[in-house]
C-alpha cells in the first residue's frame, strides 16, 4: 500500500535540518581570522556551484564570478578600501570614532582568495519575465547567490567576509568589468582559526541583533499578529 501523503513528506531528515540551521546561525562576516591555507579547487567549485543554484527572477542568472588570486589586483583593491575607509571614519567622533578605527573591516590581503560576484544588468535581454515592475530584481537575485555561497562556505568550514567599503566604479575599473556589469559583492574567502560566537560588530558593542518579535507585524504595518500561537512561538525562539 502506498504511503499517505503528509505535510512532512518533503522535509529533510532531522540531522540535515539541524545542519542547515546551524550554518545559518553560525555564519559570520570574517575579517581577522583567516588562515593562509589554500582552498582546494574541488571545494571552491562546490561553493560556486551552490551560488549558481540561487533563485533568480525570470531565471536570468545575472551573476558572474571573478576568482581573484592576483596579489597585484588585491593590493589595488586594498588601496581603494583604505581610501574609502578613511572617508567613512570621518562620520564618527569620540568613543564611536575610536571604536570604528579599531574595527577590522576586511581581509583582502590576508585571505587566500578574493571573489567578486557581479551582476550583469543586461542579462536576459530587454524584457525579463518578472522584472518589468521592479528592475532591481537582478541585484536582488545576485544577493541570493552571495547568500548561497556564504552558507555553503560555513558548512565547509570556510569563512567569508564581504568588503562593502569600496568605490564600485574604481573596483569595476580595476577588474576590467564591462559597462553593464556591476560589482555587487567583493568577498574574502579562506579557512579560519575560529568562527566567533557572536558577530564581530555585536561583540565589539557597535550594534546588537534586534529582537525578532519586534520586527514581525500582522496584516498591516504595526498591527499585532492575529495568530497567538505564532506570537508564543516567536517568544520561545527568542528564549532558546
**pLDDT tens profile 121-154:** 999 999 999 999 999 999 999 999 999 999 999 9
pLDDT at 239: 83
Question: How much is the pTM?
Answer: 0.94
pLDDT at 6: 65
Q: Are 79 and 123 spatial neighbours (Cβ–Cβ below 8 Å)? A: no
Parallel/antiparallel/unpaired status of strands 113-120 and 158-162: unpaired
Name the percent of the chain lying above pLDDT 70: 98
The domain segmentation of the chain, as residue ranges, is 24-199, 210-240
Please tell me the class of the 24-199 domain: alpha beta
Pairwise pLDDT comparison (210 vs 3), residue with the higher score: 210
Q: How confident is the model at residue 5 (pLDDT cuts 50, 70, 90)?
A: low
SS3 content of the chain, % helix, strand, coil (to 5): 40, 15, 45
Sign of CA dihedral 66, 68, 70, 75: positive
The torsion angles phi and psi of 67, rounded to 5 degrees, stand at: -90, 110
Measured CA to CA in angstroms, residue 3 lies from 6, 8, 9, 10 at distances of 9, 12, 10, 13
- Alpha-helical regions (H) of 33-179: 41-52, 71-89, 94-102, 137-155, 168-175
- Alpha-helical regions (H) of 176-226: 200-203
pLDDT at 8: 75
pLDDT at 4: 52
Measured CA to CA in angstroms, residue 148 lies from 24, 27, 107, 153, 160 at distances of 10, 11, 20, 9, 12
pLDDT tens for each residue of 145-203: 999 999 999 999 999 999 999 999 999 999 999 999 999 999 999 999 999 999 999 99
Q: Are 151 and 28 spatial neighbours (Cβ–Cβ below 8 Å)? A: no
Q: Are 137 and 57 spatial neighbours (Cβ–Cβ below 8 Å)? A: yes
Amino acid at each position: 500500500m502506498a504511503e499517505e501523503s503528509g505535510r512532512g513528506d518533503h522535509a529533510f531528515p532531522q540531522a540535515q535540518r539541524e545542519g542547515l540551521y546551524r550554518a545559518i546561525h553560525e555564519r559570520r562576516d570574517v575579517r581577522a581570522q583567516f588562515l593562509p591555507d589554500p582552498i582546494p579547487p574541488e571545494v571552491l567549485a562546490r561553493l560556486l556551484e551552490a551560488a549558481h543554484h540561487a533563485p533568480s527572477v525570470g531565471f536570468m542568472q545575472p551573476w558572474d564570478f571573478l576568482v581573484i588570486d592576483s596579489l597585484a589586483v588585491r593590493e589595488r583593491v586594498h588601496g581603494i578600501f583604505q581610501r574609502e575607509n578613511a572617508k567613512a571614519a570621518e562620520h564618527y567622533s569620540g568613543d564611536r570614532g575610536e571604536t570604528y578605527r579599531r574595527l577590522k573591516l576586511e581581509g583582502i590581503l590576508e585571505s587566500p582568495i578574493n571573489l567578486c560576484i557581479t551582476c550583469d544588468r543586461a542579462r536576459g535581454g530587454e524584457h525579463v519575465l518578472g522584472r518589468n515592475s521592479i528592475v532591481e530584481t537582478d541585484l536582488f537575485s545576485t544577493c541570493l547567490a552571495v547568500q548561497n555561497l556564504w552558507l555553503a562556505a560555513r558548512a565547509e568550514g570556510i569563512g567569508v567576509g564581504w568588503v562593502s567599503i569600496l568605490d564600485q566604479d574604481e573596483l569595476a575599473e580595476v577588474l576590467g568589468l564591462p559597462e553593464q556589469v556591476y560589482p555587487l559583492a567583493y568577498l574574502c574567502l579562506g579557512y579560519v582559526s575560529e568562527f566567533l560566537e557572536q558577530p564581530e560588530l555585536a561583540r565589539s558593542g557597535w550594534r546588537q541583533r534586534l529582537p525578532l518579535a519586534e520586527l514581525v507585524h500582522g496584516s498591516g504595518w504595526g498591527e499585532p499578529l492575529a495568530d497567538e500561537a505564532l506570537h508564543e512561538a516567536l517568544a520561545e525562539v527568542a528564549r532558546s
